[in-house]
């Protein structure tokens, strides 16, 4: 699991965390809105936790046998910043494995969507497309300084200090728009 670049948690058939990636610690704690409690992944916000637990139960349930779909759950943070989006994927069952082996994989990433204004989302989308500040300003009918100012707000909300860091998060799938 240490080779995994994302925050990942492997759950057994009871929904207990049985393995984590090295990046998993970054997504645990008060500031991320997520914690590990009695071996279970939980959200600090009660509404988020209810959705998370329902998704986990659906992913690890072995019977009745049915096609189980991947689900995503948004986890709000008590502090400003990008929310965490947890993707919960049921793992295939193997007849020779025990019922308590790995049953689901939870991968966490950050999402800025709920924290950006419409203008900031548009600028970020153009930035991801590879457009420069001058081109973005021209397309938006704004000054370069306005675009630079909005980029600074995007960096602050993403908790990065440069365009390179922001795009690296996006490229690795850690950050979504």
* CA–CA gap between residue 10 and residue 107 (Å, rounded): 9
> Predicted confidence band at 76 (pLDDT cuts at 50, 70, 90)?
confident
Instruction: Please report the pLDDT score of residue 94 as a whole number.
Output: 65
**3 vs 92, residue with greater confidence:** 92
CA 98, 104, 106, 107 torsion: positive or negative?
positive
Instruction: Please report the pLDDT score of residue 32 as a whole number.
Output: 76
Tens of pLDDT, residue by residue over 109-157, are: 877 766 788 899 899 999 999 999 999 999 999 999 999 999 999 988 8
Q: Identify the CATH number of the domain defined by range 118-176.
A: 1.10.10.10
> Predicted confidence band at 83 (pLDDT cuts at 50, 70, 90)?
confident
Residue spans of the domains in the chain: they are 7-111, 118-176
Which class is 7-111 in CATH? alpha beta
Instruction: Please report the pLDDT score of residue 67 as a whole number.
Output: 59
């Amino acid at each position: 699991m240490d080779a995994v670049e994302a925050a990942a948690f492997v759950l057994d058939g009871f929904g207990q965390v049985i393995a984590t990636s090295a990046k998993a610690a970054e997504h645990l704690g008060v500031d991320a809105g997520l914690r590990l409690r009695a071996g279970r992944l939980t959200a600090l916000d009660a509404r988020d936790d209810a959705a998370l637990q329902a998704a986990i139960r659906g992913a690890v349930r072995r019977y009745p046998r049915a096609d189980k779909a991947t689900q995503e759950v948004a986890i709000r943070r008590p502090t400003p910043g990008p929310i965490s989006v947890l993707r919960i994927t049921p793992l295939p069952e193997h007849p020779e494995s025990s019922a308590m082996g790995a049953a689901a994989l939870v991968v966490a990433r950050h999402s800025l969507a709920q924290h950006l204004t419409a203008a900031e989302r548009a600028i970020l989308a153009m930035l991801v497309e590879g457009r420069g500040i001058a081109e973005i300003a021209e397309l938006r009918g704004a000054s370069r300084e306005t675009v630079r100012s909005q980029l600074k707000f995007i960096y602050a909300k993403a908790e990065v200090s440069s365009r390179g860091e922001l795009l690296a998060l996006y490229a690795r799938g850690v950050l979504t728009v």
